[in-house]
Amino acid sequence: MAVPKRKHSNARSGSRRAHNALTSKQLTSCPKCSTTVPTHVVCPGCGYYMGRVVMAEQQEEAAAE
């Protein structure tokens, strides 16, 4: 079996893991109600997406109950 002859240094291990960092989600504000929403997602507050109402039916049903 192949066995490493020397221990890898901390700098070498760190530079190998340089691209493993997590990135935060990209958030935008809804132009209708100004809540922060992830990009390409329907706003849970007002139901708007790309300038039109997408979830109006679900909100009306919830308000009626």
* Residue 50 resides in a domain: yes
Could you read off the pLDDT of 3-52 as tens digits, one per residue? 999 999 999 999 999 999 999 999 999 988 889 999 999 998 888 888 88
Count, in order, helices (H) and strands (E) of the chain. 2, 4
Nearest to 38 by CA among 20, 52, 26, 54: 26
**Host domain of residue 57:** 26-65
* Residue 58 resides in a domain: yes
Task: Give mean pLDDT, residues 41-64.
Answer: 76
pTM score over 0.75:
no
What pLDDT band is residue 57 in, cutting at 50, 70 and 90?
low
- Alpha-carbon span 26 to 39, nearest angstrom: 6
* Residue 17 resides in a domain: no
Q: Which parts of the chain fold into alpha helices (H)?
A: 10-16, 56-64
* Residue 64 resides in a domain: yes
Q: Which residue has the higher pLDDT, 55 or 37?
A: 37
What pLDDT band is residue 65 in, cutting at 50, 70 and 90?
low
